[in-house]
Amino acid sequence: MADLNGMTDWEKLKGMLQQKEAATALKAIDEKALLAHLRSRVKGQDPIVEDLARLLRLQFARKNSNRPLANLLMLGPTGTGKTELAKALAEALFGDEKAMLRFDCSELSGEHSKDRLVGMPTGYKGSEEGGHLTRPVLSNPRRLILFDEIEKADSIVFDLFLQLMGEGRLTEQGSGKVADFTQSVIILTSNSHAEEIGKIQDSHTDYHEMVNGVKGYLADAKVFRAEILGRIDRVYVFRPLSGMIVAEIALLKLSQLAKSYGLAVKFVAPELVLKALADNEKVSRFGIRELERILFDMFADPLASAREQGAKEVQFDVADGKVVVRKA
């Protein structure tokens, strides 16, 4: 380095490089903190969230690995928290929900699906743009990658999954660059065979026995290729949400809504929670996707008014079936 002396501020450069390395290096995981974060966003799926926090601590503690940090398969009814858990995990591990790459496999069913993921081969138009999967991972390998509805993907995409989950690397067509997935978490979700899986869920009270039942079923019924199942670290089967859990989620969502108006909610009359749940049940018997809209319809107006009157904390009571807001 002697002949380069004076060319730059070496101390400053060293500091900057160290900072960059520290930012990209895998940090040890604080299992308790991770669990608390996941629990704060995902309700009613405790066995899954607990197992996941533990698995990640164990994986992060490894010195080196030649496969992704975790390959997870998430099953269970719609609107039970699969995507929510993926987002919460991306936020906790990589500092930002946006570290999540999401692919809808129903859009990866044609013959060009491979080109979309790993780029066009050399000589084809667009080959310099790279793939929708490889390019973001080449620029930042610390990612959570979510593939939704994998049963709809083309078999050529499954071949890519096998490589990605088995070797932790994929070569971009065109550029020949190798994307490294060893710092990524891979999540596959599927709604396939939901009815049978639901029956197995209903017939077990113990979570682990139920998961074993589901795994046996997936293997026997050849729902996925055996090689895929062989590369999955965990199969998580999400539970349908009970009324109490939906109530908890409603309160969580209400507090998020209030926060967006700069307000904190100190109290909500139980009758109002019950009404939101009943309205939700009317429109979406099998999910809670409408809940957010229903809460908005019920509470956004009083929240905005309270905000305009300079409140910081509010409580919601009920009079003649209507929402009454009070400064707390």
Residues that bind Mg ion (CB under 5 A): 82-83
Task: Kindly indicate which of the ranges 16-24, 41-49, 177-185, 309-317 contains the residues binding ligand ATP, using the contact rule CB under 6 A.
Answer: 41-49
Out of Mg ion, ligand ATP, none, what residue 311 binds, judged by CB under 5 to 8 A for its kind, is none
The answer to whether residue 43 forms part of the interface with ligand ATP (CB under 6 A) is: yes
Per-residue contact string for residues 60-79; x = within reach of ligand ATP by CB under 6 A: ------------------xx
Identify whether the C-beta of residue 274 lies closer than 8 Å to the C-beta of residue 236.
no
Residue 79 interacting partner from ligand ATP, Mg ion, none (CB closer than 5 to 8 Å by kind): ligand ATP
Tokens 């610390």 sit on residue: 142
Residue 315 CB partners (closer than 8 Å, separation 6+):
265, 266, 267, 268, 325, 326, 328
CB of 178 to Mg ion, least distance (A): 30
Q: Which two three-digit tokens encode residue 42? A: 């995902």
Q: Which is nearer to Mg ion, 148 or 172 (CB)?
A: 148
Print the binding letters for residues 275-314 with ligand ATP: x by CB under 6 A, - otherwise. Answer: -------------xx-------------------------
- Mark residues 246-275: x for contact with ligand ATP by CB under 6 A, - for none: ---x--------------------------
What three-state secondary structure class fits 269? coil
Binding ligand ATP by CB under 6 A: which of 45, 71, 184, 201? 45
Alpha-helical segments (H) within 140-193? 155-167
Residue nearest to Mg ion (CB): 83
CA distances from 96 to 93, 165, 179 (A): 8, 23, 21
Give all strands of the β-sheet with 100-104 in edge-to-edge order: 100-104, 144-148, 185-190, 70-75, 234-237
Compute, in degrees rounded to 10, the torsion defined by CA atoms 172, 230, 233, 165.
Answer: 0
Single out the residue of 42, 72, 237, 277 in contact with ligand ATP (rule: CB under 6 A).
Answer: 42
State which of residues 191, 192, 284, 315 lies at the interface with ligand ATP (CB under 6 A). Answer: 191
Structure tokens at 67: 């496969």
Distance CA(169)–CA(164), nearest Å, equals 5
- Interacting residue ranges for ligand ATP, rule: CB under 6 A: 42-45, 78-84, 191, 241, 249, 288-289
